[in-house]
């Protein structure tokens, strides 16, 4: 679940705080200007509380993202 979005003028990336079902928090980052659709989906996930699956690459860069709901088979 996305629990926070951090944007800073000091960085070209936007950071996303992801929380797992057991309460652990992780951070991933992405260039929101180049990936506007993915950024909009992350914002929707934050606002709606929907479950997400993220795949990170080098330096925790967000490479892939899936937005789901309980009915889509995502597990809490």
pLDDT digits (tens, 9 = 90+) for 16-62: 999 998 999 999 999 999 999 999 999 999 999 888 989 999 989 99
Q: Return the number of other C-beta atoms located less than 10 Å from residue 42's C-beta.
A: 24
pLDDT digits (tens, 9 = 90+) for 53-64: 899 999 899 999
Helix count and strand count (H, E) for the chain: 1, 5
Contact 60, 28 (CB under 8 A): yes
Choose among 56, 54, 55, 51: nearest CA to 75.
Answer: 51
- pLDDT of 14 reads 95
Architecture of the domain whose range is 2-72? Beta Barrel (2.40)
In 1-75, DSSP assigns E strands to 2-7, 14-19, 25-30, 51-56, 62-68
């Amino acid at each position: 679940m996305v629990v926070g979005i951090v944007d800073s003028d000091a960085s070209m990336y936007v950071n996303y705080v992801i929380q797992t079902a057991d309460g652990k928090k992780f951070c991933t980052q992405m260039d929101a200007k180049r990936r506007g659709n993915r950024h909009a989906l992350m914002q929707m996930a934050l606002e709606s509380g929907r479950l997400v699956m993220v795949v990170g690459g080098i330096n925790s860069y967000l490479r892939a993202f899936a937005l789901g709901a309980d009915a889509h088979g995502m597990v809490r």
